[in-house]
Amino acid sequence: MSEQEITPTTWEETPEGHKAGFVSLVGRPNAGKSTLFNAFMRQKLAIVTPSPQTTRNRQLGIVTQPDYQVIFVDTPGLMKPRHKLDEYMVNVAAEALNDADVVVWVVDASEEPGTGDEIISRQLAALGPHTPVILAMNKADRLTAEEVLPRTEAFRALLPNAPWILFSATEGNGRDELWQMILNALPEGPRYYPADQITDLFIRDLAAELIREQIMLQLREEVPYGTAVVVDEFKERENGVIYISANIFVERDSHKRILIGAKGKQLQQIGTAARQEIETLTESKVFLDLWVKVEPKWRRDEKVLRRLGYSVVE
C-alpha cells in the first residue's frame, strides 16, 4: 500500500460501457456497514467492534476491475447528536448521501425497525429517483425462519420502491447477490482513481484507527467513546522497522488511569494488539510508542476537534 496522490483518469483509458461511481454505505450505528465494507474490500480497512459509533470518519475503499471501479464510502452511523463530535459524524454521513451515485442502506434485520430507521428512510426518499437506493437487510444469520417474512416486510414498508436483499455480512449469505445489485446500479463513466489505489487514507491514519479499535475492544463503558488517537510521528527506519508515536486523548484523569492500567499493563496490551494489526497492514515490523493525555471535554469543543483531525465547521 502506498501513500500516493490521486490522479484522474480519462475516458480513453477505460473500455466502452465502463462503470464507475461512489457507493455510500449508510445506516444506524452498529448495523454492520464497516463489516460489509471490509468484506467487499477483501481486507481490513475499516475498524470493527461490537460497540456502536465505532466509525467516525468517512473512509473510501476502491475496487477496480477492467470494466468497473466501485468506490465504497463507509460512513458513521446516522443518529441523534449529543455533542459536537456526534454532529461532525452526522454531517459526514449526510455529505456521503449527497455525493453518492448509489446508496446502500444497511439495516440490522435482527431487530425491529426503530425511530432511527424511519428517519433515515425519509432522508433516503428525499434523494429522488436519480440516486438508486438498495435496502440491504443485514444479520440474516440471526433470524429464525418464522421471523424472516415479518421482519423483511417491516423494513420494506419504510422504503417500498427500493430493491432489497436479506444477507449476512459476516457469514457471506447473499453478499455476492448484493455486490451484483450494486454493479447493476452503477452509472457508466471513467475511473476516478488509479487502478492500484485502494483507499484515500494515509497509512498513518489507518494506524491511528487500529489503535482506537483496540481501545474500544479492550475497554468498556464510556471510556472508549471519549478517546481520540493522533499519530505524531510515522517513519521507516534504516533497518526497515516502522516507528510510530501516537497520542491517545481522553477527557478525564480517571479515564487516563483506566487506559494505562496497573503498572501500565492495560496500555501495553492495547499497544501489543494494535502493533500486530498495523504489522499485518504494512507487512513490516512496527515499533509503537503510545502516550495518554487528558483533553477535558474535547468532544464538545470545536477548536479541539479540529486540532484532533475532525473538520468541524463553525
109 three-state secondary structure: coil
Predicted confidence at residue 225, as pLDDT, reads 76
pLDDT band at 53 (very low <50, low <70, confident <90, very high): low
| Whether the predicted pLDDT of 58 surpasses 80 | no
Residue in this structure with the C-alpha cell 496497573, named with its chain if needed: 262
| Whether the predicted pLDDT of 1 surpasses 90 | no
**Residues 172-195: what's their mean pLDDT?**
95
Q: pLDDT tens across 221-278, in order?
A: 667 678 999 999 999 998 989 999 999 999 999 999 999 999 999 999 999 999 999 9
Predicted confidence at residue 6, as pLDDT, reads 38
Predicted confidence at residue 56, as pLDDT, reads 63
Predicted confidence at residue 302, as pLDDT, reads 85
27 near 121, Cβ under 8 Å? no
| Whether the predicted pLDDT of 129 surpasses 80 | yes
Listed in order, the ranges of the chain carrying CATH 3.30.300.20 are: 203-307
| Whether the predicted pLDDT of 12 surpasses 50 | no
Cell numbers given for 63: 475496487
Residue in this structure with the C-alpha cell 421482519, named with its chain if needed: 151
1 near 198, Cβ under 8 Å? yes
| 228-236 β-sheet, strand order | 228-236, 242-250, 286-294
- Please state whether the predicted TM-score (pTM) of the whole model is above 0.75: yes
Q: pLDDT tens across 72-104, in order?
A: 998 876 666 666 777 766 677 777 778 899 999
Listed in order, the ranges of the chain carrying CATH 3.40.50.300 are: 11-185
Residue in this structure with the C-alpha cell 500500500, named with its chain if needed: 1
Measured between alpha carbons, how far is 75 from 123 in angstroms, rounded to an integer?
15
Predicted confidence at residue 281, as pLDDT, reads 87
Query: What phi, psi does 125 have (nearest 5°)?
Result: -60, -30
| Whether the predicted pLDDT of 32 surpasses 70 | yes
With pLDDT > 90 as the criterion, what percentage of the chain qualifies?
A: 58
Predicted confidence at residue 4, as pLDDT, reads 38
Predicted confidence at residue 173, as pLDDT, reads 93
Q: What is the 3-state secondary structure (H, E, C) of 191-249?
A: CCCCCCCCCCCCHHHHHHHHHHHHHHHHCCCCHHHHCEEEEEEEEECCCCCEEEEEEEE
- Rounded to the nearest integer, the mean pLDDT of the chain is 87
Q: What's the CATH fold of domain 11-185?
A: Rossmann fold (3.40.50)
**Residues 291-295: what's their mean pLDDT?**
95
With pLDDT > 70 as the criterion, what percentage of the chain qualifies?
A: 87
* CATH C-level class of 203-307: alpha beta
pLDDT band at 63 (very low <50, low <70, confident <90, very high): very high
| Whether the predicted pLDDT of 3 surpasses 50 | no
pLDDT band at 128 (very low <50, low <70, confident <90, very high): confident
